[in-house]
Chains A and B, each alone.
Chain A
Amino acid sequence: MTNLDSSSTAEPGVAQHRARWHDRKGLVQIALLAGLLLVPIGLHLLGHVYYVNLASKVTLIAMAAVGLNLAIGYGGMVSFGHAAYFGLGGYVAGISAYHAFDATALITWPVSIPGSDNMLVIWLAAIVLCGLLALAIGAISLRTTGVYFIMITLAFAQMVYYFANSWPSYGGEDGLPIYLRNGLPGLDTNDALTFFLISFAGLVLAMAITSRLMKSRFGAALTMARLNDTRLATAGINPYPIRLAAFVISAMITGLAGALYADLNGFVSPSMLSWHFSGELMVIVILGGVGRLYGPLAGAVLFVMMETLLGGLTEYWQLFLGLLLLVVVLFAKHGVMGWLAGREHDE
């Protein structure tokens, strides 16, 4: 063995690259999170419930995009079908609440399972079911790459969409209302600020998990699978199971965001499953900065702000969104976060 001290092996650049509160990147990140947390609290104090709900919307769409960013940004898997998991999460919340409200069984065979209006139960079910769906879709889709991967994930999501659209038990194309928002023991989830704080906690947790994951051995392997899968295989690690695991985790995060989103709106419909939403999530990830931890948050803030402000002025607001996307793709390849906070050191 060599007699190295840790100073010779430890990455010398780490100290300079890690975000600190006093450098530019750290400031931008803290400002984004603190802004998202404090603005709704302030508005709630002033009695503007509408804006608190809008902040919840931003938060949950950002969380869904955090999930997609794990697949696209960190894993290099351009999924055009993440609406499937968002929508499935939404339907889990909706269907469970529907049966809880009716006091009927969710399924009767092989065992009778009643509906539940407990968010914890719903979240767990959404995470498990989205994980299983992503395992099936990913196992097949990840045998392809590039444009074929984009198309096959889209095709699977459209299958789920048309299934929900044509299944009359839960509203079909009309969607399914959630008459009473699902509850969390000890909390009043009907309170707009409480619900926002739950969503915010979800977003922060999703970001923390992503960050930790990408620093681990699994993250190192996933990064190598994205940058050069030949190198990964030559090093003795098969890229396929690594990618598949990342795809499943990514879908679980997006699915949990979907379950909360249905509760926010008190309604779930096939539009949550539509390819439009898959596209919007991709736009948000690209706007914010592909493979940037805070990218989905920045992208979602920008997207919902444009939708709300410009959408109030003209129904053609997406024209401006398109222009902005064009500018970002042409001039700021690392998205809004790359432009505000500088480049990431590994890329």
Chain B
Amino acid sequence: MMSEILLSLDNLNKSFGALRATQDVSLDLRAGEIHALIGPNGAGKSTLIGQIAGNLRPDTGSIQLVGQELTSMSVAQRARLGLGRSFQVSSLAEPLSVMRNVMVAVQALQGHSFRFWKPVNHDRSLLEPAYEALERMQLTHRAWTPVSELSHGERRQVEVACALALKPRALLLDEPMAGLGPEGSAHLTELLETLKLEVPILLIEHDMEAVFRLADRISVLVAGAVIAHGDSATIRQDPRVREAYLGD
């Protein structure tokens, strides 16, 4: 059964001088799936994420979200259209509470921020959706804790909560497992498995165990190009992948 394509990359190319960091990359993300993107260090994963999220502009090619052309849009515009994102190195406002970090995403969803008068601290239209996003991540007990006091794993969860608060159509999660203990990792794995039914996830991940367990499809990026594509079993057995990535 072919499900709806929500995010699609079409023939992306990006060079830095002589280095071709992205070479003819095409892939898509369909409703209900986790599509994992793996690759050794220096394979060009960060460059690719940058182009999807809007920090980098591809030289050629196009990116579409639910049929909308994203390629010339800013980071903020892409987010408002429904591209949720978490960072490899967590990017939150440290001195602010968890809630305040999530509320900003809710605020963006409700239109422009040129509202100068009504205080946000008692605005239920902001508080409730933010609280719901935290509930999804089982983080409500930390709602009013400053991010600076959170553990590494909790910060990852807050990042995902921020992305969820945007009511995204597609999620781009950059190594969400990195730095999590076994317990946190297991918890997040479970969460992503239910989450994907609502929002498909493009997962960039180093933890191979998690990738093989979670991903419905896997694309392998080496030297800027997708060298293999398929489900876990296919990827595990692909000789080029074993050579390039699994070190056999």
Give A contacts to B, CB under 8 Å: 1-2, 4, 6, 8-14, 212-213, 215-221, 223-224, 227-228, 230-239, 241-242, 245, 346-347
**Contact (A220, B120) CB under 8 Å given A231-B104, A234-B91, A347-B95:** yes
**Would you call B93 and A227 a contact (CB within 8 A)?**
yes
Cβ of B215 within 8 Å of any chain A Cβ, yes or no, is no
B119 within 8 A of A: yes
Tell me whether A220 and B128 are in contact in the complex, defined as CB-CB below 8 angstroms, given that A212-B117, A234-B75 are known contacts. no
Least CB distance, A6 to chain B, in whole angstroms: 7
Known: A2-B135, A4-B128, A8-B131. A235 touches B105 (CB 8 A): yes
B79 at the A/B interface (Cβ < 8 Å)? Answer: yes
Q: Which residues of B contact A (CB under 8 A)?
A: 53, 74-77, 79-80, 85, 87, 91-97, 99-101, 103-105, 107-109, 113-124, 126-128, 131-132, 135, 140, 143-144, 162-163, 165-166
- A220 and B132 contact, Cβ closer than 8 Å, known pairs A9-B127, A11-B144: no
- Contact present for A237 and B76 (CB under 8 Å): yes
Residues of A near B114 (CB, < 8 A) are: 218, 241, 245
**Which residue in B120, B126, B143, B144 is a CB contact (below 8 Å) of A215?**
B120
* Cross-interface CB contact of B117 among A13, A216, A224, A234, cutoff 8 Å: A216
Whether B119 and A215, one on each chain, are in contact in the complex, defined by CB atoms closer than 8 angstroms, is yes
- Measured CB to CB, the nearest residue on chain A to B80 is A236
Across the interface, A236 reaches (CB within 8 A) one of B109, B120, B144, namely B109
Q: How far is the CB of A55 from chain B (nearest CB, A)?
A: 30
Residues of chain A within 8 A (CB-CB) of B144 are 11-13
For B93, the chain A residues whose CB sits under 8 A away are 223-224, 227-228, 231
Chain B residues with Cβ under 8 A from A8's Cβ?
A: 131, 140
Q: Which residues of B contact A220 (CB under 8 A)?
A: 100, 103-104, 107, 113, 120
Q: How far is the CB of A75 from chain B (nearest CB, A)?
A: 14
Apart from A234-B91, A235-B162, list 17 A-B contacts with CB within 8 A: A10-B127, A12-B144, A217-B115, A220-B113, A223-B96, A224-B96, A227-B93, A228-B93, A230-B87, A232-B76, A233-B75, A235-B104, A236-B76, A236-B109, A237-B108, A239-B76, A347-B95
Q: By the criterion CB–CB under 8 Å, are B104 and A11 in contact? A: no
Cross-chain contact A227 with B94 (CB below 8 angstroms): yes
Task: Determine which residue in A1, A4, A242 has the highest number of CB atoms from chain B within 10 A of its CB, and name it.
Answer: A4
Q: Is B107 in contact with A237, judged by CB distance below 8 angstroms?
A: yes
Give, as a whole number of angstroms, the nearest-CB distance from B176 to chain A: 15
Q: How far is the CA of A212 from the CA of B99 in the complex (A)?
A: 20
Q: 16 A-B Cβ contacts within 8 A?
A: A2-B131, A9-B127, A217-B113, A217-B123, A220-B104, A220-B107, A221-B107, A221-B113, A228-B94, A230-B91, A233-B75, A233-B79, A234-B79, A236-B77, A237-B104, A241-B114
Q: Which residue of B lies closest to A241 (CB)?
A: B114
Complex: A2 Cα to B135 Cα, angstroms = 10
Would you call A221 and B96 a contact (CB within 8 A)? no
- For B131, the closest partner residue in chain A by CB is A9
B166, closest chain A residue (CB): A236
Q: Are B131 and A231 in contact (CB under 8 A)?
A: no
Contact B95 A346 (CB under 8 A): yes
A8 to B134, CA, bound (A): 12
Residues of chain A within 8 A of B95, CB atoms compared: 227, 346-347
Task: Give the complex CA separation of A18 and B80 in angstroms.
Answer: 33
Is A221 in contact with B131, judged by CB distance below 8 angstroms? no
* B74 adjacent to A217 (CB under 8 Å): no
Is A233 in contact with B119, judged by CB distance below 8 angstroms? no
Least Cβ–Cβ distance between A11 and chain B, in angstroms: 6
Q: Which residue of chain A has the shortest Cβ distance to B82 in the bound complex? A: A236
